[in-house]
Amino acid sequence: MLARLALVALHALYAAADTYAVLVAGSSGYENYRHQADVAHAYQILTKGGVKADNIVTMMYDDVASDPKNPFPGQLFNKPAATMAEANDVYASVKDHIDYKGNEVTPENFVAVLTGDSNATKGKKVLASGPDDVVFVNFVDHGAPMFIGFPNDIFMADNLTATFKAMHEKKMYKHLVFYLESCMSGGMFAKLPANINIYALAAAPFWESSWAQYCPVPGTKQGPKVGDVTFDTCLADRFSAAWMENADVTNLRFESLAAQYGVVVAKTLPNSLPTQHGALLLGLEPASVFEGTGRTALKNAGDAGAPGTYTSVDSRDVKLTMEFSRYMKAEGDAAARSAHAASLIAEIQHREAEDAKFAAIARALALPESLAVPEAEPEDVHCAHAAHKAVATRCGGYSDYSLKHAAVIAKACVHHHNAKKVVSGIETVCAKLRAWAHPAYPPVPSAPQY
């Protein structure tokens, strides 16, 4: 009871504050259904919980709801449901409020939004928060050591830290909370200052993948169901589902951010361990200040038995799982089964080729096998920027799968402290692969290239 009274008292301290939010799905393509569904769900939670729509900036490629593979055109679901009456179409509330779509979803616009630079966005919506306000940022996408993805680019940890510092200098918030859903996301906050009033949660530590939730069961025809329809993709991410399903059923006035973190950890283990960063004392603040009041759910929220047989999948393996599911479900249709078999084989070949390519880069750069993934960028970040650019321009780029191998680049920069040497090693290996027509260089990319 005393804890509840304390949270109520803390909530009262924010009476003069407005809550602002920036919600970003940084990927594209139907295989990344879950990312756009996550962000749509977050928008629903915030607006139903009392956060003003005018105070929320959303960035989403917005290609999944209309994708021909979507069994419910114009709708997105973030969790299975036994009947359509219970199903929660999270897209309904956000579809008319997506501020940046398609090629507008870029690191440059993300920075401009956060720093309130409407000149850079040519007048499009940006944060208008002030020194007494609170800001909630939710970013969902793929990631790697010290960077997160955008549909056609990457965003480095040092750029994020610089953006935070710029926001703090411009007095754009009293307190800021950042929830980051991506693999190895803890590395994005390794150098987050503890004295600029930012509390961050990462879906996984800097060495570990995050996991997708409500996915097809590999090697079977089974998967998450909405009504009578079985999906062949993942509907959510495990970390995102954990905090949002908690918000769906909890009065957030009586739950601190730290308590919500505890719930999230319990729901994501043993697959990954979310991490806390920055001003950890902000974890004592009521979650409602940043996320709205909570208890905004429809009937199928929380842990009520979701229909269908589904599983959690390492985010790097989602596309493989999808292709296998489609192949298994095509039984009885020879043409479809043959087409899905070809897609499955192509994905396996892509993975094998990417594994071989980055192993060759590691050998060319003489990286010791015992070399650990670095927790943070070196002081000289030029190497990482130059090396990742070399991968993008000379080496076929990163796919959703091969982002796992960005750890090779991070290790190389920390080991050699020499951008020229690392870039030369990358270019040499990839020039040879191009000359051999290596399958790491398909005529048409099978996945978004970062």
At residue 184, what is the residue type? M
**Residue 437 binned pLDDT confidence (cut-offs 50, 70, 90):** low
Name the average pLDDT for the chain: 91
pLDDT-above-70 percentage for the chain = 90
Residue 372 is predicted with a pLDDT of: 87
pLDDT digits (tens, 9 = 90+) for 235-271: 999 999 999 999 999 999 999 999 999 999 999 999 9
**Residues involved in catalysis:** 142, 183
Distance CA 110, CA 233 (A): 27
pLDDT digits (tens, 9 = 90+) for 60-106: 999 999 999 999 999 999 999 999 999 999 999 999 999 999 999 99
The region that residue 250 occupies, defined by phi over 0 for left and psi between -120 and 50 for alpha, beta otherwise, is beta
pLDDT digits (tens, 9 = 90+) for 346-395: 999 999 999 999 999 999 999 998 888 887 777 778 999 999 999 999 99
Lowest-pLDDT choice from 81-90, 102-111, 224-233, 307-316: 307-316
**Residue 446 binned pLDDT confidence (cut-offs 50, 70, 90):** very low
- What are the angstrom distances between the C-alpha of 353 and each of 348, 393, 396, 440? 9, 17, 11, 5
Distance CA 401, CA 348 (A): 11
Residue 320 is predicted with a pLDDT of: 96
pLDDT, average across residues 184-193: 95
Nearest to 448 by CA among 404, 406, 398, 409: 398
442 has a pLDDT exceeding 50: no
Residue 7 is predicted with a pLDDT of: 56
Distance of CA 392 to the CA centre of its chain: 20
Alpha helices of 269-381 — where are they, by DSSP H?
Answer: 288-291, 318-329, 334-364
300 has a pLDDT exceeding 80: no
Residue 443 is predicted with a pLDDT of: 39
Q: CB neighbours of 60 closer than 8 A, spacing ≥ 6?
A: 23, 24, 25, 36, 39, 40, 94, 98, 100, 101, 105
